Amino acid sequence: MIKIEYAPEVAKAMANGKPIVALESTIISHGMPFPKNMETAYLVEEVVRENGAYPATIAIIGGVPKIGLTEKEIRILAEAGKSVTKVSRRDFPMVLAQKKHGATTVAGTMILAEKAGIRIFATGGIGGVHRGAENTMDISADLQELANTSVAVVSAGVKSILDLGLTLEYLETMGVPVWGYQTSELPAFFTRDSGFRLDYRADDVETLAKMLKAKWDFGLKGGVLIGNPVPRLYSMDKWEIEGVIREALLEAKKQGRKGKKITPFLLSKINELTKGKSLATNIELVLNNARLAARLAHKYAEMV
């Protein structure tokens, strides 16, 4: 049996029934350039602590699944960058068997979080149905994981490089609840508004925790997507970012970027085209999600 290792801080928190927030590691290796990725990873963990929970950054180091990373392990992923394998459900066997480093995606992080009994997970934005998926069938494994893995994902909605409408339709078909936190509209990652209305919203953390508890107490498996809009101060102009995304998509098509390589390429290209503005927004929305996730984990821990 493959053993999961827990950082001492996380193991102690689990033993004492303390609130824990799972954090992904693909954002470290593939989401930002070095050293900003490392600095942000440390900062996100600190934000979780400041808001009453314990951070558990999840990854695979040398073939060992880790729940909670040391500063040295975070640096390993940050420096290695895109050479680190992105790990979703299909990638676990290869990375574990070959004892490689692996940075967990939303789906990969959910899998390990559920195995560890961690219910709350903070990320930037989830993957979804890609634009043009009616021809390419390019649909993120994150959506299937949300349907089957019982972890609540706090994110700034769906990455706006994707087809947001089709992503919402897919999630509805799979029975995944999508809740807006203090919003009735799906957040669109770089922007607060998408034009897509949500059926449910919660205006306080206690309501979110009660709905999560009701779902799982009733025996409904699967996760929940909690859309938490980027703070207004850092929200980008909807039409400006849409123009940039279209330009980046055209460049990706010219270069033949497909599959798991396309999202890191697009985010990097968008950062280049916006002269760093999109990266600043990305960092702020991740921190904002970490704050909400920590408060939610704290409230949920009081109820179970």
Task: Check if 73 is active-site.
Answer: no
SS3 191: strand
Is 85 in contact with 101 (CB distance < 8 Å)?
yes
From the candidates 66, 159, 269, 299, which is the catalytic residue?
A: 159
Look up 12 and say whether it is catalytic.
no
97-110 in b/e form (b: 16+ CB < 10 A) is: eeebbbbbbbbbbb
**Residue in 60, 27, 67 with CA at minimum distance from that of residue 44:** 27
* Residues 157, 123 contacting (CB under 8 angstroms): no
DSSP state of 99: T
Give the CA distances from residue 93 to residues 5, 6, 60, 127, in Å, rounded to whole numbers and listed in that order.
Answer: 17, 20, 12, 22
Distance CA 55, CA 203 (A): 24
Contact 107, 22 (CB under 8 A): no
Annotated catalytic residue, options 24, 45, 114, 145: 24
Q: Which secondary structure element, helix H or strand E, spans residue 102, and what is its range? A: strand 102-104
The answer to whether 225 and 178 are in contact (CB under 8 A) is yes
Catalytic residues: 24, 159
